[in-house]
Amino acid sequence: MSETTAHRLLPDLATLPELDSERLHLRPIREDDLPDLFAVFADPDVMRYWSTPPMRDLDEARAYLAGIERNFAERTGFKWGITRRGHDRLIGTTSLFRLDGPHNTGEIGYALGSAYWGNGYAAEAVRRVCRFGFEDLGLRRIEADIDPRNHASIHVVEKAGFQREGVLRERYIYNGEIQDVVYYGLLAREFQR
């Protein structure tokens, strides 16, 4: 399939759309979020099962934001800042990335500052972003790839209706550690708002 086909799948958006759910507001990440973005991604507890080591300084957060903006410009990935309605401060991020136009698929990602864990925020954000993926982007399938030891993350996708599809053994070397990965998938026809 041609690249033209891939681009036709994506709406003609000038900026990343803001999304609301019951308690959350998902919005583009801005320059003034850098200290909060850094606080999330510098925390070793948050980064335990992430694909990169904890950030060490604000410059890394700035480069990360530049990458987010580049991915949006190329329509290969969308990343939102997670905020609580009525509080503008960024408490985490969630994304749809590896957008694959010819196949109408994408992958979901999420990370939340550890002070905010255990409130159901990640599951709520994932459900809202999946709705955007299926209803606005026309995706057929959204995937998650998770370290099998990351029980909280597995809980998040299972609550959102994802099905476990299989394990790839010793798939990655992250932070010097060989890791298995478990794949989850959610199909548009299975998604319940």
Ligand X SMILES: CC(C)(COP(=O)(O)OP(=O)(O)OC[C@H]1O[C@@H](n2cnc3c(N)ncnc32)[C@H](O)[C@@H]1OP(=O)(O)O)[C@@H](O)C(=O)NCCC(=O)NCCS
Least distance to ligand X, CB of residue 147, Å: 7
Q: Is 68 in the site for ligand X (CB under 6 A)?
A: no
Nearest CA to 140 out of 181, 101, 98, 97 is that of 101
Q: Which is nearer to ligand X, 34 or 122 (CB)?
A: 122
Q: Is 44 in the site for ligand X (CB under 6 A)?
A: no
Separation CA 43–CA 31 (nearest Å):
20
For 39, the token pair is 């606080």
Which one of residues 41, 80, 121, 184 is an interface residue with ligand X (CB under 6 A)?
121
Q: 193 burial class (0-12, 13-18, 19+ CB within 10 angstroms)?
A: exposed
CA dihedral of 174, 179, 184, 185, whole degrees rounded to 10: 50
Q: Is 117 in the site for ligand X (CB under 6 A)?
A: yes
Q: Is 83 in the site for ligand X (CB under 6 A)?
A: no
35: helix, strand or coil: helix
Q: Is 119 in the site for ligand X (CB under 6 A)?
A: yes
90-115: b (≥16 Cβ within 10 Å) or e: bbbbbbbeebbbeebbbbbbbbbbee
Q: Is 67 in the site for ligand X (CB under 6 A)?
A: no
Part of the chain binding ligand X (CB under 6 A), chosen from 18-26, 43-51, 78-86, 166-174: 43-51
Residues 129-168: x where in contact with ligand X by CB under 6 A, - otherwise, as a string: -----------------x---xxxx-xx--x---------
Cβ neighbours of 116 (radius 10 Å): 14
Q: Is 111 in the site for ligand X (CB under 6 A)?
A: yes
127: helix, strand or coil: helix
With CB under 6 A as the rule, give the number of residues binding ligand X.
21
Q: Which is nearer to ligand X, 34 or 144 (CB)?
A: 144
Q: Which is nearer to ligand X, 13 or 167 (CB)?
A: 167
Contacts with ligand X, residue ranges (CB under 6 A): 46, 49-50, 110-112, 117-123, 146, 150-153, 155-156, 159
